Structures are given as structure tokens and as C-alpha cells.
């Protein structure tokens, strides 16, 4: 059936996330060189990322909260280097500020205008991006984040909450996302319709869509065309 509402992933769907993460990590390291030189000397950018990955592995109960993982990794880095662990919070805030300086894909704003004029839109993300800071919140009825909800995609519960916010039953909701497992398979298993956003800079090929995928598109404008928005 035609969807009555849409839920949209954010990272790598509305903007490429890794360029923003890499800039944020570089600015974080520059901040540490000024305020915690022992930590900056002991851990380069790759070392800080490895420590963050270690925290993620050893704290699986934080899988839904990327901010908690990053903050704890900074506390560990500061402690291991003998710097003030109280610097972890301002260090993290520096990272988060730069993490929000994303480069939105050119098709996104025109497509959101078209889609929001026809459908309720709800953002559904495992990340820690803030749509208000980025400047896209005007087109969304709400945001459901793994951090605030307590579990992330592909858990069915977070899809159900997004449908509730959108005001439609799961079968009436089309979820749009870049990850074939977390977004597409997760949405289908939860009873939603699913569109795979296979942007060329993220997915060179489009032959990996899970069985039952309703749409495979290269940009958001293409999806708006298909939905008659």
C-alpha cells in the first residue's frame, strides 16, 4: 500500500558522516594538544579512535549511546596520560560541535520540502546528530534516537516508537536508510516498508538490497519522484 508516513535515517542518508567524524577527531586532537598535551602526545587520532572502539567492545550495554562511548574513551585517555579527567567533558563538547558540521547532500533540502508537504516525517537514528543544530528540524515531526530511546536499530521497538510518533501503523510507514541490515532489514522485520538509500559515494553497487525491499534509490529526490511528492 502507499505509505502514509516516512521515517528517515540521518548519517549517510542525508549527509556523509565520515568526513564530519574525521574533521571532528582532528579538531578534538588539536584541542587536546592545547589543554591536555600529555594525552595528545600519548594518543594520536588513530589511537583515540582505537580506545573508543575498545570502550564500545567492553561496554556493549552502551551500544545505543555513541556519546557515552566517546566520553568514556576520553576519560580513559586522560587518565592513562596523567591529565585531568575533568577535561573529558569539554573535550567531548569540542568533538560534538565539529561532528555537527556536516555537508548535506545537495538533493536533501529540495526533497525534504516535497516529502514533508505530503507525509509526516520522523527521523530515526542510531547516531548523536541534532537536527536542530544542523538546521533540518523544520521538516520533521519528531526525532527518535537510540540514545534517548534506550535501544537502536535494528531492534523492532525503536521502529515501533517512530511509527507512533509519525501517527501511522508500521505497514503504512516507509523507512528510508543507507544500511541494508540496520535500516532496511530492521524495518522489514518490524513490519514497515523499506527504501534503501544507496548513495554512490557510500554504495558503489545496488545489488545488496534485502529481499522485500520496496525501493532502491540513489538520492532522496528519486524517492520523492517515486512517491509522487
Length of the chain equals 229
Instruction: Mark whether 53 is an active-site residue.
Output: no
Residue from 9, 12, 83, 179 carrying the catalytic annotation: 9
DSSP annotation of 218 reads S
Pairing of strands 121-125, 173-177: unpaired
Order of all β-strands in the sheet with 215-217: 142-145, 121-125, 5-8, 173-177, 193-197, 215-217
Q: What is the spatial distance between Cα 194 and Cα 177, in angstroms, rounded to a whole number?
A: 8
**Could you tell me the end-to-end alpha-carbon distance of the chain, in angstroms, rounded to an integer?**
16
Neighbours of 120 (CB within 10 A): 18
Task: Report residue 131 as a C-alpha cell.
Answer: 537536527
Element (H, E) at 53: helix 45-58
Catalogue the active-site residues: 9
Amino acid at each position: 500500500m502507499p505509505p502514509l508516513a516516512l521515517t528517515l535515517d540521518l548519517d549517510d542518508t542525508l549527509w556523509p558522516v565520515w568526513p564530519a567524524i574525521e574533521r571532528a577527531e582532528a579538531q578534538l586532537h588539536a584541542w587536546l594538544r592545547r589543554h591536555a598535551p600529555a594525552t595528545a602526545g600519548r594518543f594520536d587520532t588513530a589511537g583515540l579512535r582505537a580506545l573508543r572502539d575498545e570502550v564500545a567492545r567492553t561496554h556493549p550495554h552502551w551500544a545505543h549511546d555513541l556519546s557515552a562511548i566517546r566520553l568514556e574513551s576520553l576519560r580513559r585517555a586522560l587518565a592513562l596520560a596523567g591529565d585531568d579527567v575533568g577535561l573529558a567533558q569539554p573535550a567531548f563538547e569540542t568533538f560534538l560541535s565539529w561532528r555537527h558540521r556536516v555537508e548535506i547532500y545537495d538533493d536533501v533540502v529540495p526533497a525534504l520540502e516535497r516529502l514533508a508537504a505530503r507525509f509526516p516525517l520522523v527521523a530515526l537514528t542510531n547516531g548523536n546528530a541534532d537536527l536542530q543544530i544542523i538546521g533540518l528540524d523544520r521538516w520533521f515531526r519528531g526525532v527518535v534516537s537510540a540514545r534517548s530511546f534506550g535501544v537502536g536499530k535494528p531492534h523492532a521497538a525503536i521502529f515501533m516508537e517512530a511509527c507512533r510518533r509519525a501517527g501511522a501503523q508500521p505497514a503504512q510507514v516507509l523507512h528510508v536508510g543507507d544500511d541494508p541490515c540496520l535500516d532496511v532489514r530492521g524495518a522489514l522485520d518490524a513490519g514497515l516498508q523499506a527504501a534503501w538509500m544507496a548513495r554512490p559515494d557510500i554504495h558503489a553497487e545496488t545489488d545488496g538490497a534485502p529481499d522485500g525491499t520496496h525501493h532502491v534509490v540513489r538520492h532522496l529526490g528519486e524517492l520523492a519522484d517515486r512517491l509522487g511528492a
